[in-house]
């Protein structure tokens, strides 16, 4: 299942403004990576380039040596699952139909079983008849994760997947990602609250103003956070895991 992902010289310009500038990195088979950086750094744009949504990029994106531009839409759907920050508000269907659409790239008679398993993994089996706009933010996030899993991708890209999740479901998400990591799925998580995902011992890719700021493990990243974000951080250690939090003062 695991694939090597190589990005070379990725550049994206919109309205004459560079969104991504000459970004180069590699994710090895089975890597789990957290993608960090301040607002406007280009994190979401990077993911959208990698799924073909922003097709006007310059540079190369390769999956196991094959150029992304050579993939058909169905081939992309079998290679890459994507969980966006928010779902298009104009796309309002019931969960059952939404999950069925996630299987469009596959043929055969396994659709029902895969959908059922994906809903079970995200604790959303009670929602098949609910419409997406009726769900809470956390429920909608979990359904989007279920749909991405139903694609049976080799690479899973998640854009701030814990933004709307309560602590219990955040913990469940980390356990699910740990399970997928154990199956050699490539995982990429955009996060502002990265602490829950440090349990996965991830690699880190940091962007700043559309450029690659740093690539490495968490231990080589943590001391760079003040420079990256422009604020102070305090590091805590618990259960052999590091946690970093921004620190600030409020005038009394």
Residues 103-115 pLDDT 10s? 999 988 899 999 9
Tally of domains within the chain: 1
- Residue 245: the pLDDT is 80
Q: Which residue has the tokens 């059952």?
A: 96
Q: Residues 10-39: what's their mean pLDDT?
A: 96
* Domain-embedded: residue 175: yes
The single residue listed with the structure tokens 């990005």 is 7
* Position 93 in a domain: no
In a domain, 123, yes or no: no
Range of the domain at 11: 5-86+154-247
Q: Where are the beta strands (DSSP E) in 28-153?
A: 32-36, 58-63, 66-67, 80-83
Domain containing residue 179: CATH number: 3.40.50.300
Residue 131 resides in a domain: no
Q: How far is 74 from 107, CA to CA, in rounded Å?
A: 11
For the question of whether the overall pTM of this predicted structure is more than 0.75, the answer is: yes
Percent of the chain with pLDDT over 90: 86
């Amino acid at each position: 299942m695991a694939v090597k992902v190589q990005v070379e010289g990725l550049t994206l310009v919109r309205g004459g403004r560079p969104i991504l500038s000459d970004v180069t990195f590699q994710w090895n088979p089975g890597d789990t990576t957290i993608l960090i950086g301040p607002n406007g750094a280009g994190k979401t744009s990077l993911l959208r380039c990698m799924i073909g949504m922003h097709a006007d990029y310059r540079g190369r994106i390769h999956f196991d040596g094959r150029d992304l531009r050579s993939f058909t839409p169905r081939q992309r759907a079998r290679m890459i699952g994507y969980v966006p920050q928010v779902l298009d508000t104009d796309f309002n269907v019931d969960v059952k139909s939404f999950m069925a659409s996630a299987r469009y790239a596959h043929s055969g008679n396994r659709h029902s079983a895969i959908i059922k398993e994906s809903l079970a993994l995200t604790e959303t089996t009670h929602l098949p008849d609910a419409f997406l706009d009726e769900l809470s933010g956390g429920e909608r996030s979990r359904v989007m994760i279920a749909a991405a899993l139903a694609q049976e991708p080799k690479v899973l890209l998640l854009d701030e997947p814990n933004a709307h999740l309560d602590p219990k479901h955040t913990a469940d998400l980390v356990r699910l990602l740990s399970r997928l990591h154990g199956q050699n799925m490539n995982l990429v998580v955009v996060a502002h609250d990265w602490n829950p995902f440090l349990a996965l011992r991830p690699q880190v890719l940091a962007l700043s103003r559309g450029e690659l700021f740093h690539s490495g493990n968490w231990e080589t990243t943590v001391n760079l956070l003040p420079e990256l974000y422009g604020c102070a951080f305090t590091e805590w250690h618990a259960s052999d895991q590091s946690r970093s939090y921004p620190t600030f003062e409020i005038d009394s």
